[in-house]
Amino acid sequence: MINCEQLTGVVTDYMEGRLGLRLRFEMVMHMAMCPPCRAYVQQMRLTARLAAAAPVEPADAAVAAKVEQALRPGGGDG
């Protein structure tokens, strides 16, 4: 079984699907037993996703506000 240090060393390969089946399995097993490593991998995934995303356009804030307003219960056509 891999330890925390080994997990952090291969997390990038894990996210990119470059790990072998055995090491993948060991990572999953380790994360199942080790909440800190689970949180770490989740954080790494989130960071990678944000880094890959296109820059947020200013218009998004206005759209988000509209959506929030539309979703608010009891607003508008009362």
Q: How far is the CB of 17 from Zn ion (least distance, A)?
A: 21
Residue at token pair 């990572």: 27
| Rounded Cα distance, 11 and 24, in Å | 10
| Rounded Cα distance, 37 and 28, in Å | 10
- Which of 29, 34, 30, 27 has the alpha carbon at shortest distance from 13? 27
Q: How far is the CB of 62 from Zn ion (least distance, A)?
A: 42
Q: How far is the CB of 23 from Zn ion (least distance, A)?
A: 14
Nearer to Zn ion, 4 or 65 (CB): 4
Nearer to Zn ion, 5 or 57 (CB): 5
Nearer to Zn ion, 32 or 64 (CB): 32
| Rounded Cα distance, 16 and 42, in Å | 14
Contact residues toward Zn ion (CB under 5 A) are 4, 34, 37
